[in-house]
Structure 1
Amino acid sequence: MLADILLSLPIPRPPSYLTSWQPGATPLSTLPSVATAIALYLSTIFGLYSYQKDKAPKKLNTLFQIHNVLLSSVSGLLLVLIAEEIIPKMWKHGIFYAFCSPDAWTDRLEFYYLMNYYCKYWELIDTVFLALKKKPLTFLHVFHHAATAALCYTQLDGKTSVQWAVIALNLAVHVLMYYYYYATAGGAKIWWKKYITTMQITQFVIDLVVVYFATYSRIAFMNALPTIGDCAGSLPAALYGCALLTFYLVLFIDFYRRTYNAASAKKAVTNGTTNGAAHKTR
């Protein structure tokens, strides 16, 4: 197993509060620390955006490529490690166990969740690059980056056993998304940008099916309603996840509509005008 190979490497073992979730000891494991980090992120990017207003855009292509290829690679590694941990449990005990059993939360998975959580702060650098390159800072981009860090915090703190499914789908999308940014920064022409957004929308649809099922199972078990069984994790964390992922879906559908449907309509109008002009010259 890949995890066993990594553990066998002759490297110093970090303290336990860096490999497991220990509120108050693990970095960024309290609500005030998360709120402070997000406030620092927002003040930094808007400060940089204002500073760059009268200056030429920074190129930063090499740094941007390094940033993106590393994030793509780390996303792929975490995806493989999570799959390696969860697939045997799903095979042996079934999908409901993998989604909902408290025993499906292992020390290794907790460590992978923690590393994924820290990656969300690393990903905030995406927006720093946008500000320095004088690219538009859209609400979708800024909100999504900040809120996802908060989402990962709530799920770790609430110990929702279903979060691996949401994380794995997100990692799969990020492998391709960050590769796309890496390649296009180097001048590559890639035709499938539109399908990254389609994958993100599909991801949120699947996420919502899974988390709504898990949340219903939790509520139903607590209130003696029909259900397969209980689903591990705090109810506030589950409800926050449902609400935020629903909002993400709305935002990404709106982005798709405004970006790609509008572009298609504009292209159709342009083609119609061109064809009309050609017809008149015959």
Structure 2
Amino acid sequence: MHASNSSLFNMFELWRADPWTTEVYLLNSPWPVTCLCTAYLLFIYKIGPEFMKHRKPYNLRNIILIYNICQMIYNGSIFLMAFYYLLIDGTYDITCMHTLSLDHPKKSIERWITYIFFMNKIFDLLDTIFFVLRKSYKQITVLHVYHHAMMVYFMYWVTRLYGAGGQYAVMGLCNTTVHFLMYFYYFNAGLRPKMKMNLWWKKYITIAQIVQFMIYLVQSIVVLVFNPTCQFPLFMQWQQIFQSTLMIFLFGNFYYHAYIKPKQKTE
């Protein structure tokens, strides 16, 4: 029994779509990313609030301004790389975006763009840490936490079991666009806090979030219906449909309660 369990564990450890994942930090094993996501959840729901219970909110204005600038540069850089290889260079067949073969001349580029995008999703977790340290607990919603934790854990398993890039390159392109706009808004709001309420375009960032998930949803449906011979894994197509639908619902619900319902009450 012990030998059998050991054999299964070894098989699982060897189950990789791309041997490159054994060579890079946080992709070589599921344990670091699992521990990271667990620590994130424990901190924001238990350890952090307990630590802040008898403390005043920290003034993190300057730190957050720097963080927002870094995020704009980070997301903007990934966007430019993804835009070039996806829409200009023609690295992928848009009708069926499968991960590049291991011997493809641009495989290393695909791998490292995927990796820096994955690391950016970990960097994003600081958003929630800042909320806790500032005691902005109302911003720690189910949508916020699920979206952040899911992106980290989802990205790990996709890269580990499927490989880099492929159909998810569209996600990277859209996600970095939205995040650049989002952190640009946060930077302006933090730089001029008295004018925060006058930044009328805040709600359009939420609309952009919804639109990006609509793009993912349509992408999978179009491939399934019009290109059934595409070798992108069927399970992952349905997973993309499920996650996209769920996120459209969650962001749509947030938009309704944040922007439509309050307006209805004042009419």
TM-score range for the pair, normalised by the shorter chain length: 0.7 to 0.9
What displacement does 1:68 show?
A: 1.0
Check whether the contact 1:82–1:168 (CA below 8 A) recurs between aligned residues.
Answer: yes
Q: Give 1:156's aligned amino acid.
A: T
Tell me by how many angstroms 1:89 deviates: 4.4
Q: Which has the larger radius of gyration?
A: 1
Partners of 1:84 and 1:108 lie apart in 2 by 12
Quick check: 1:151–1:241 contact (8 Å CA) kept in 2? no
2:145 aligned with 1:142 = yes
Structure 2: how far apart are the matches of 1:25 and 1:93? 25
Tell me which amino acid in the other structure corresponds to 1:171.
T
Normalised TM-score (structure 1)? 0.76
The structure-2 alpha-carbon separation of the partners of 1:266 and 1:54, relative to structure 1 and needing over 3 Å to count, comes to farther
Structure 1 outlier segments of 4+, above 6 Å? none
Q: Go from structure 1 to structure 2 and tell me whether the alpha carbon gap of 1:245 and 1:28 turns closer, same or farther (over 3 Å shift).
A: farther
Deviation at 1:229, TM superposition (A): 3.1
Q: Give the direction of change, closer, same or farther, for the CA distance of 1:33–1:93 in structure 2 (3 Å limit).
A: closer
1:204 partner amino acid: F
Report how many aligned residue pairs link the two structures.
237
Q: Please state how far the C-alpha of 1:143 moved relative to its aligned partner.
A: 1.1
Q: Matches of 2:92 and 2:77 in 1, distance apart?
A: 25
Q: Secondary structure at the match of 2:55?
A: coil
Residue number in structure 2 paired with 1:4: none
Structure 1 residues 101 and 255: alpha-carbon distance in aligned structure 2, compared to 1, 3 A threshold: same
What letter matches 1:77 in structure 2?
A: S
Q: After the TM superposition, which residues 255-274 of structure 1 pair with which residues of structure 2 at under 5 Å, given as runs?
A: 255-268=254-267
Secondary structure class of the residue paired with 1:37: helix
Matched AA of 1:122: F
For 2:32, the equivalent position in structure 1 comes to: 33
The alpha carbon displacement at 1:237 in A equals: 3.9
Per-residue CA distance 1:58-100 (angstroms, 9 max, x = gap): 121000111111111110111001111122344x875315x24
Q: 1:169 aligns with which of 171, 174, 197?
A: 174
Q: Are residues 236 and 21 of structure 1, via their aligned partners in 2, closer, same or farther at CA, if it must alter by over 3 Å?
A: farther
What residue ranges of structure 1 are gaps of 5+ in the alignment?
Answer: 1-19, 218-225, 269-282
Unaligned runs of 5+ in 2: 1-17
2-side partners of 1:128 and 1:43: how far apart?
A: 11
Give distance in 1, aligned partners of 2:187 and 2:19: 32
Aligned position for 1:84: 84
Give the 3 Å change call, closer, same or farther, for CA 213–35 of structure 1 in structure 2. farther
Cα deviation code 1:104-159 (max 9, x no counterpart): 87321221111000011111000000001111221111111000112222332212
> Which amino acid in the other structure matches residue 66 of structure 1?
I
Equivalent-residue separation in structure 2 for 1:231 and 1:172 (angstroms): 28
Conservation of the 8 A alpha-carbon contact between 2:86 and 2:92: no
